[in-house]
Amino acid sequence: MPPYDILTYGWWIFGVMVTVFVALSFWRRQPIGISLMFGAIAGGMMGSLQGHGLHPRHLVEGAFTYFDPMMIIFTAIFFMRVIEENGALRSLANLITRKFGRKPALLTALLTIFIMFPAMLTGITTTSVLTTGALIAPTLIALGMPRVTTGAMVALISIMGMFAPPINLLAMLIGQGVDMPYIGFTGPLAFAAFPLALTAAFTLGYPYLKKADASQIERSQTRMSDPPGLSGKNQSRYNWTLYLPLFAVFALMASIRLFPSVIPDIGIPLIFIIGAVVGLFLGEKVRPASAAYRALLTGLPVLGLLAGIGMFLQVMTLTGVRGLLVVTVLSLPVALTFLGLIVSLPVFGGVSAFASAMVFGIPFLLSLLGRNEIVVCSGIALLAGLGDVMLPSAIEARFAAQISGVDNYLLIVRKCLPFVLIFAMAALAIIYWANSLAFLTP
């Protein structure tokens, strides 16, 4: 058998893998995780022609590459499901609107944090759009905000929630690909996430919240009333205790980081489980088995996606394609490297932000060695995350259109595009001045 020429044959393998993935994703409408798996199998079979045989163990090992993030996702979604079903999220949304309805600037800032919250804990944009975003959207529309503007605002803030600390799955996946632990990201992520989220909120939402009068605020509260069991006396009885699961989660996360020598690191999944268990005894009755089942259904597409990404990357490594991409990116001039960043990551993120971060994020991170790796990784994660509102899938724009009652999700995509450009330029600035921003890391 002739020697394996990666420079010529590797691109063919990569082309076959991407072609199978795209064809199954958009032509056959298969789940992205399944499409990635078959793309990995096709690439492995092609590589076997040159002596790189595909053994089933490679697929199994690849599927479990990101087991830790999978556990974080499932437990975080379970926690969110519990506090949603026991009434905590709805009560908190009602409280924010009722207490700060006449202070539009403060209300805008608090609603921004509220929408971001689920994605901050899970690392998944969809959890914010379909939970807190779905709760707030009717209120914003009742206050006079156009439906398209409402959907765009929820989608953009949710993406920033996915990017914000404490959980940024994109940064986790990129870091794991280069053996970089997920430590020290809180500062760089918060430095970009919250200002950008507030920029979108104050640009899109504040002009309408400022014009809302008292009667509009009262009508909006009737659309976001507390659950039946949390009205009147029951509301006064449970209102503050409903938030104990949130306090428990944040207290455990903070104490582990503030007092590492005293409090052992029990792991993020166990923290979410503890918070969920506390929530089971508060507010409305929650069936644990039903909540876990619904959490699994919600997270299954992302869990399957991570398994597919792991298999895809395992085969890329086995056949040498991953090294070929790294060498190619390393050989690019600096100008082309930054051009490639702003083009490839958001565009391929339109197919899958997670796949974009893994396939392209790792080579670009390696090509930018010499700059602060944590800050650079944060900027790359931001660029990849913007793909959630980019065509062809524009998955978060589709969900945002559903919760805001917009028939054509492309209207929301168009509304988001100027902000996508602003956020992308901010990400490039973060990467370019990474060493100057090193003070944000430990």
pLDDT in tens, 135-178: 889 888 888 899 999 999 999 999 999 999 988 989 998 998 88
Report d(CA 190, CA 192) in Å as an integer. 5
Residue at 102 is within a domain: yes
CA 70, chain centre distance (Å): 13
Question: For 195-225, how does the pLDDT look when each residue is reduced to its tens digit (9 = 90+)?
Answer: 999 999 999 999 998 887 655 565 555 544 4
- How far, in Å, are 87, 134, 223 from residue 230 at the CA level? 8, 20, 15
Residue at 1 is within a domain: no
Into how many domains does the chain fold? 1
Residue at 215 is within a domain: yes
Residue with tokens 């009333």: 225
Residue at 115 is within a domain: yes
Report d(CA 136, CA 121) in Å as an integer. 18
Among 240-254, 272-286, 402-416, name the one with the lowest average pLDDT.
240-254
Question: For 260-312, how does the pLDDT look when each residue is reduced to its tens digit (9 = 90+)?
Answer: 778 888 888 999 999 999 999 988 889 999 999 998 888 888 788 788 888 88
Strands (E), 357-423: none
Q: pLDDT confidence of 237, banded at 50, 70, 90?
A: very low
- Domain containing 67 equals 6-440
Q: Evaluate whether 279 touches 82 at the Cβ level (below 8 Å).
A: yes
Q: Evaluate whether 368 touches 431 at the Cβ level (below 8 Å).
A: yes
**DSSP for residue 263:** S
Q: Is the dihedral of CA 97, 101, 103, 105 positive or negative?
A: positive
Residue at 126 is within a domain: yes
Q: Evaluate whether 273 touches 75 at the Cβ level (below 8 Å).
A: yes
Cis preceding-peptide flag for 392 (omega within 30 of 0): yes
